Amino acid sequence: MRKLYLAISLLVLASMVLAACQPQAVEVVKTVVVEKEGETVVITATPEAAPAEEAGPKTLRLNLGPGDVPTIDPALATDTSSTQINILTMVGLTRQDEVTTETKPGMAKEWTISEDGLTYTFKLRDDVTWVKYDGTQVVQVTDCEGNPRKVTANDFKYGILRTLAPATASDYAYVLAFALKGAADYNAGKTEDPETVGVKVIDDYTLELTFNEPAAYNAQIAGMWVAYAQPSWLIDGDDCTEARGDRWTETGFFQGYGPYTLKEWVHDSYITLIKNPFWPGTEDIPQAKIDEVTFTMLDEVPAFAEYEAGNMDATGVPLADIDRVKADPTLSAELEIAPVQCTYYYGFNTKAPVVDDVRVRLALSKAIDRQGLIDNVLKGGQEPAQWFSRPGLAGAPTIDKFPDLGVKYDPEGAKALLDEYLKEKNLTADQLDLTLMFNTSSGHQKIAEAIQQMWKDNLGVNVKLVNQEWKVYLKTIKGKDTPQIWRLGWCQDYPDANNFIREVFSLGGSGNPDEDPKDGVPDGGINLLDEAFEAKVREAARELDPAKRVQLYAEAEDMLVVKNAAIAPIYWYTRVTVTKPYVQRTFSVLGGQEAIYKWDIKK
Amino acid sequence: MAEQLQALGRKTTAGGAPLTATRESLWKDALRRLVRNRAAVVGGTIIVILILAAVFAPFIAPYTYDGQILKDQNTVPQWILNLFPVMKNYAKINNNYLLGADYVGRDLFSRIVYGARVSLTVAFIGPIISLIIGVIYGSISGFFGGRVDNIMMRIVDVLYGFPTLLFIILLLAFFRGTLARPEPGTFSYSISQLDAQMGGMLFIFIGIGLTAWETMARLTRGQVLSVREKEFIEAARTIGASNLRIMFRHILPNIIGPLVVAETLAIPGYISTEAFLSFIGLGVNPPTPSWGAMISDGAQVIRTYPNQTIFPALALAITMFAFNFLGDGLRDALDPRLRGTQ
Amino acid sequence: MGRYIARRLIYLFVVLFVVSVITFGLMHAVPGGPFDREKKLPKEIMENLNKRYHLDEPLVMQYGRYMYDVMIPHFSIKAPTSSLLDDHLFNVKVGPIWIKWMNFGPSYSSRSRTVNDIFRDQLPISMQLGLMALFVALVIGLPLGILAALKQNTIFDYLGMSVAIFGVSVPVIVLGPILIYIFGVSLKLLPPTGWGAKPPYVLGFLPAKLDWNFWKYAIMPPIALGLGSSAIIARLTRASLLQVIREDYIRTARAKGLQERLVITRHALKNSLIPVVTILGPMFAALVTGTFVTELTFGIPGMGKYFVTSITNRDYPVIMGTILLYVVFLVIANLVVDILYAYLDPRIRYD
């Protein structure tokens, strides 16, 4: 009996240890205070249950994808989930239109540019206040005298400097570091004087930014989340506010000023945003019509099940289910395929055996039946890519103007090229030792398997498939072990061909890396050293006449995908979504940054 | 007290019998009883058929496992359409493929036949490794007890402390990462070549092998602990039997039943470990088929093309049934107390 | 016995030490770092990140720093701050002194959270799910195994075992979507995904309210997860019980005229549970610390995915945290198993 007693007491002890893991009242301090509310239910929008006349609040339920949103702190955001929340809860000086990609006014009503094109003076709106959700409703944040706190130029300066501070260790601070005057030194810790950074408060509603280059994208960078206003009193504390430091974005603490504000963030589960009635509403960023938006964090397949069960208002379609969706009368009517500014491609290591011959590379590229791949494997209505910079970007060639630019499916041409090579080397096709590497994922695998078969059918070559886990893969394709053929995708940071062909494939770009810039020799990726190509993309970036610019980029693309055949562009991305018919929405081309303040629900 | 004495009395006579019985008869007996068990025979037959199918896969499968005909992708034969009428709206009919074709137009049936190779190898290698290491380790630990037991079990605890899957994932990331493209002629080169030849199974075996035996060792030890204190062991000891003899003649036959059962129970675990690794993308290299990979691939289309999940899952289930029936049969056959009965 | 337990607990720390060294070495040996991206970060940005997370120090120092923060209680007169680098599981104030213990570090991939946050918010959900799954496994597995053993070679036996084998051969990846489709999408009886509890939790891991809003989420996942384990339990129980009821003391008990029911419940059952209990230790640890596939399929915000994503993200503190957490659960569960052995079979002695 004693032994049983011991066993039980041990169990009790164990449960006490476990219980102690949770901060408890009295002597144990809680680091996070979660507002306790009446209901614990996940907000759902059940269309059948809603009454005919709009009585209750309009709610929307969307999915962000699996895993917790990494952060909603604009200084730290790097991914689309985080920035989706950022653009709704806060507004930058400018805002990129999610459909046309034009730069529109945001918190700045207007701005003037100095003659040298370096200094931008932004006139801020004076009718925007900081708000927070107090557990029952959205209220204005007040200062120590009890007056509403307006969003001022100081808040923007604080935000920019906080993003740049070395201690913040922000990834995307590099955007500000390369664009803003003095920002790089401040970010690298070479100086601790914030006044050396090109951000100056003229008065409460006037902010002056000084840039390094007179570039067209300066106004876009000023509108990026890394340059949002941030609440210094909340983060660092002041006379009447407790400092929340790194925790300022949690439920109950968060303060914002955008068309929505944070109501609840249940980590790993969902984020609920609530309409900010104090947002004045502008032409480009109107007051929200939908009262509450809940973003779940589900994998695509369960999210689609929720959609079919009527609990989700819009979601991505798992590509595996697309045949059924297209055949279903209801779902097919709700289906929408929208372009996304991304390109999927295979890169060739131009220094590796076999593919060091341009004929082999071009043969492999021409032997890919891109439309067949799209119709049979991808099924998302993607566009076959003939070159790298996705049409729709500023400066990028378009199919209707350049129908014959780049590569197309041409099995005979491919075979002829390869035969020439084989004859010269006195080899047969099956003797070629080729390896295609991709990062582990069933999607990439399907594409690789299909293309492997096309190469076998059209050229008779047996290409080995190898996959590596993502982080290992990234190391591999950027070093001396870069395989003969590898895959990557590229999505826009800003909508310009410069962001594609030059930033990826010129020497030192992410697809043509140069670990040691002094030697001027690429270290992996496509391993391409082509002075003519480098000169062409530099010339195109400087060209001001749009038509000439497109022509220059077309020539550069021809060099990349035909003359050098350093890559085989595969397809231009699309996004396949279903939306319930009662949701009026826009489709963002900016990689999932939806302008939900423009949406409405009409039942 | 009377009960104890009585038990002790009976035990000496019952336990005394094997001491004088001939050595071979134990296993002969076991085989005889196994053959008499109808379920076990069926299970064994299925496993033999599966092994033959795996070995002679090229002669059985009508297509190769990697031959794609893109235009035939996701097609189904008429009889499956009759089985799942929901597919009528969108599925293309193609009676060339017995069970349908997958997402790139590969014959499902052929892939299932070839997939038996991976799954059966995993199903056999896992238990063999874990039984050999685990039983030897566990019985030494349990039999000698005391300090030996303590030290050996703490070592197991340490190894056991690793979450099996996590350890395998880390090991796979490590092996495949560091041995990605080594120089020819080096040890790591031969290892990675061997892995490539095995379709990426080698590292899975190493992962499973390094982590699976500890369960068996613990289980064996637990069993030995309970048996070693039994009266018939004490009796054997009093008549001067050696440690080795006691271990192999008296203890092992008495505990092998639950161990075999546990091992047949662990087989689904090994196969599903492989399936899980496939699910997170660390399984065998494509296009090498494995049931686990096929099930996890198919599970994504389970509502649209249920045939792509159900048949590999069925193959897996049949294999499980077979292993379990055989395991049961083995247990009954190896139980010395059943000797002479039935 | 008391000394035995004390020794085992001390040994827990030895295990933790060894496991932590191997894990630390292995995870740093795997190529790729936490901040490697498709778009390579400039050197200065990497330096800031490495500095913030002390990744610029020698590995030995990083390890030492980590273990010091996790294992050694810190005494300070400063109150805990809201910095993610200073988040301890235990913060106790004794007089003017703060005792802070167990800082598992910040997450590298969730930039606004710490490993302790994950333990506080996600572990309770995994524990709720895991305990219910274990309950399902026992409730289905034990009776099935006992029935099969007592009615060996009858229809009950074959049917019961067939159910058990079926349970173990249908993986959650298949069973999950089927359950979701039938009960969530078609019949709309239950929500397809999600979990009905969120922080704060009672006693650190129990949901605050046990009403239908909780239970409706907690029906399908425990069944899907527990079914496989129930099969293992059923078959082990059957095998073990079959062996035990042939033991002489059972014959003796029968011979002295004890009722069959009492023979089974008093003598046979208790002894036959040893192998079952053995398997329960690791099963418990595996179930309550999170299950990747089940959580992904049913959209449950538990710990499971962190075991996998932390490795793919090279999120070093989360890898270390999850592994050490698992080790603690496992060692304690095995300790309880050993103690249960002694209770089930008094002839097993610990000295």
Reference A297, options A267, A319, A274, A318; nearest CA is A267
- Identify the pLDDT of residue B178: 63
Q: Is the Cβ of C6 closer than 8 Å to some Cβ of chain B?
A: no
Q: How far apart are the first and last CA of chain A?
A: 67
The pLDDT tens digits of the residues spanning C167-202 come to 777 778 888 888 998 998 888 899 999 998 888 888
Residue C96 structural domain:
55-105
φ, ψ for residue A139 (rounded to 5)? -125, 160
Residue with tokens 């899907």: C224
Please, which chains are in contact with B (at least 3 CB pairs closer than 8 A)? A, C
Using DSSP's 3-state secondary structure scheme, residue A578 falls into: strand
User: Of C42, C70, C105, which closes a domain?
Assistant: C105
φ, ψ for residue B336 (rounded to 5)? -65, -25
CA distance, residue B258 to nearest chain C CA (Å): 6
Q: What is the chain B residue with the closest CA to A447?
A: B104
Reference C299, options A304, A260, A551; nearest CA is A304
CB contact under 8 A, A481 and B180: yes
B105 contacts in chain A (CB < 8 Å): 376
Q: Is the Cβ of C285 closer than 8 Å to some Cβ of chain A?
A: no
Give the span between the Cα atoms of C65 and A55, in whole angstroms.
57
Give the span between the Cα atoms of A385 and A388, in whole angstroms.
7
CB contact under 8 A, A471 and C185: no
- Identify the pLDDT of residue C250: 79
Q: How far apart are the first and last CA of chain B?
A: 33
Residue A580 has pLDDT above 70, yes or no: yes
B212 contacts in chain C (CB < 8 Å): none
Give the span between the Cα atoms of B274 and B281, in whole angstroms.
10
- Identify the pLDDT of residue B183: 60
Is position C299 within any domain? yes
B307 contacts in chain A (CB < 8 Å): none
Domain positions in chain B: 36-67+106-338
Give the span between the Cα atoms of C180 and A230, in whole angstroms.
42
Give the span between the Cα atoms of A496 and A500, in whole angstroms.
7
C178 contacts in chain B (CB < 8 Å): 302
ipTM score: 0.90
How much of chain C, in percent, has pLDDT values that exceed 70? Answer: 98
Beta bridge partners, C21, equal none
Q: In this structure, which long-range contacts are made by residues B140-145, counting pairs with CB atoms below 8 Å and at least 24 apart in sequence?
A: B141/B217, B141/B221, B141/B224, B142/B220, B142/B221, B142/B222, B142/B223, B142/B224, B142/B225, B142/B228, B143/B224, B143/B228, B143/B243, B143/B246, B143/B247, B143/B251, B145/B225, B145/B228
More confident residue, A261 or C236: A261
Reference B274, options B283, B266, B265; nearest CA is B283
> pLDDT class for C56, splitting at 50, 70, 90?
very high
What residues have CB less than 8 Å from A105, skipping those under 6 apart? A94, A95, A282, A283, A284
φ, ψ for residue A122 (rounded to 5)? -100, 130
Is position C145 within any domain? yes
Same domain, C249 and C132: yes
Residue C148 has pLDDT above 80, yes or no: yes
Same domain, C218 and C340: yes
Same domain, C236 and C126: yes
* Residue among B88, B183, B189, B301 with most chain A CBs within 10 A, to mutate: B301
CA distance, residue C278 to nearest chain B CA (Å): 7
The pLDDT tens digits of the residues spanning C260-300 come to 777 877 778 888 888 788 788 878 888 888 788 899 889 99
Whether CATH 1.10.220.150 fits B36-67+106-338? no
CB contact under 8 A, B328 and C161: yes
Q: What is the chain C residue with the closest CA to A306?
A: C192
Domain positions in chain A: 5-45, 61-313+582-601, 335-575
Of A324, A449, A483, the CB nearest to B303: A324
CA distance, residue C156 to nearest chain A CA (Å): 34
- Identify the pLDDT of residue B68: 78
Helix (H), strand (E) counts: chain A: 19, 21
Is position C29 within any domain? no
Q: Is the Cβ of A472 closer than 8 Å to some Cβ of chain B?
A: yes
* Residue among B160, B219, B337 with most chain C CBs within 10 A, to mutate: B160
Instruction: Identify the H or E element spanning A343.
Output: strand A335-348
- Identify the pLDDT of residue B186: 67
Structure tokens at C239: 């095998």
CA distance, residue A400 to nearest chain C CA (Å): 31
Instruction: Identify the H or E element spanning A293.
Output: strand A292-296
Q: CA geometry: angle at A163 spanning A162 and A165, to 5°? A: 60
In chain B, what are the helix, strand and coil shares in percent, each to the nearest 5? 75, 0, 25
Q: How many residues does chain B have?
A: 342
Q: Is the Cβ of C168 closer than 8 Å to some Cβ of chain B?
A: yes
Residue A24 has pLDDT above 60, yes or no: no
Global pTM value: 0.84
CATH number of this structure's domain A61-313+582-601 = 3.40.190.10
Q: Which of A154-168, A547-561, C152-166, C322-336 has the least mean pLDDT?
A: C152-166
Residues 226-245, chain C: which have Cβ within 8 Å of B? 228, 231-232, 235-236, 239-240, 242-243
> pLDDT class for C347, splitting at 50, 70, 90?
low
User: Of C65, C84, C105, which closes a domain?
Assistant: C105
Q: What is the chain A residue with the closest CA to C315?
A: A471
CB contact under 8 A, C48 and A189: yes
Is position C37 within any domain? no
Reference A345, options A360, A365, A363; nearest CA is A365
- Identify the pLDDT of residue A182: 93
Residues 215-254, chain B: which have Cβ within 8 Å of C? 215, 218-219, 222-223, 225-226, 229
- Identify the pLDDT of residue B150: 83
Per-residue pLDDT tens listing for chain B (342 residues)? 333 333 333 333 333 334 444 455 666 777 787 787 777 888 889 989 999 998 898 898 888 888 778 788 888 888 888 888 888 888 888 888 889 888 888 899 999 999 888 888 887 877 787 888 888 888 888 888 788 888 888 788 677 666 666 677 777 777 766 655 556 666 666 777 777 777 677 777 777 776 678 878 888 888 888 787 777 777 887 887 777 788 777 787 777 777 776 777 677 677 777 777 777 767 777 778 888 888 888 888 888 888 898 898 888 888 888 887 787 777 777 665 554 443
Of A21, A308, A510, the CB nearest to C89: A21
- Amino acid B188 reads S
CB contact under 8 A, C181 and A174: no
Q: How far apart are the first and last CA of chain C?
A: 7
Structure tokens at C43: 């050197």
Residues 26-65, chain C: which have Cβ within 8 Å of B? 26-27, 29-32
Same domain, C129 and C61: no
- Identify the pLDDT of residue B13: 31
- Cβ burial of A38 (10 Å; 0-12, 13-18, 19+) is exposed
Same domain, C209 and C66: no
CA distance, residue A343 to nearest chain B CA (Å): 22
C284 contacts in chain B (CB < 8 Å): none
CA distance, residue B201 to nearest chain A CA (Å): 13
Q: Which region holds residue A94: left if phi is over 0, alpha if psi is between -120 and 50, else beta?
A: beta
Q: What is the chain A residue with the closest CA to B196?
A: A466
Residue A349 has pLDDT above 50, yes or no: yes
What is the homologous superfamily of the domain A335-575 according to CATH?
Dipeptide-binding Protein; Domain 3 (3.10.105.10)
CA distance, residue C122 to nearest chain A CA (Å): 8
CA distance, residue A473 to nearest chain B CA (Å): 8
CB contact under 8 A, B3 and C253: yes
Q: Is the Cβ of C78 closer than 8 Å to some Cβ of chain A?
A: no
Q: What is the chain C residue with the closest CA to B338?
A: C246
- Identify the pLDDT of residue B184: 61
Same domain, C220 and C276: yes
Same domain, C166 and C289: yes
CA distance, residue C6 to nearest chain A CA (Å): 11
Residues 164-223, chain C: which have Cβ within 8 Å of A? 177, 180-181, 184-185, 188, 191-201, 203-205, 208-209, 213-214
Q: Which of A310-314, A473-477, A580-584 has the least mean pLDDT?
A: A473-477
Same domain, C273 and C126: yes
Helices (H), A90-217: 153-164, 173-179, 183-187
* Buried-state track A49-84, b at ≥16 Cβ within 10 A, e below 16: ebeeeeeeebbbbbbbbbbbbbbbbbbbbbbbbbbb
Q: Is the Cβ of B307 closer than 8 Å to some Cβ of chain C?
A: no
Neighbours of B147 (CB within 10 A): 8
Q: Is the Cβ of C332 closer than 8 Å to some Cβ of chain B?
A: no
Q: What is the chain B residue with the closest CA to A371?
A: B70
Pair A280, A128: CB distance under 8 Å: yes
Pair B287, B66: CB distance under 8 Å: yes
Is position C44 within any domain? no
Is position C45 within any domain? no
Structure tokens at C309: 């994503």
The pLDDT tens digits of the residues spanning A377-397 come to 888 889 999 999 998 887 899
Question: Domains in chain C: how many in total?
Answer: 2
* Residue among A11, A12, A16, A21 with most chain C CBs within 10 A, to mutate: A21
The pairing of beta strand A335-348 with beta strand A485-491: antiparallel
Give the span between the Cα atoms of C264 and C272, in whole angstroms.
10
C322 contacts in chain B (CB < 8 Å): 163, 166
Beta bridge partners, A434, equal A463
Reference A294, options A309, A315, A279; nearest CA is A315
Three-state SS for A85-116 is HHHHHCCCCEEECCCCCCEEECCEEEEEECCC
C112 contacts in chain A (CB < 8 Å): 70-73, 76, 246-247, 249-250
Q: What is the CATH number of the domain that holds C181?
A: 1.10.3720.10
CB contact under 8 A, C341 and B258: no
Pair C83, A245: CB distance under 8 Å: yes
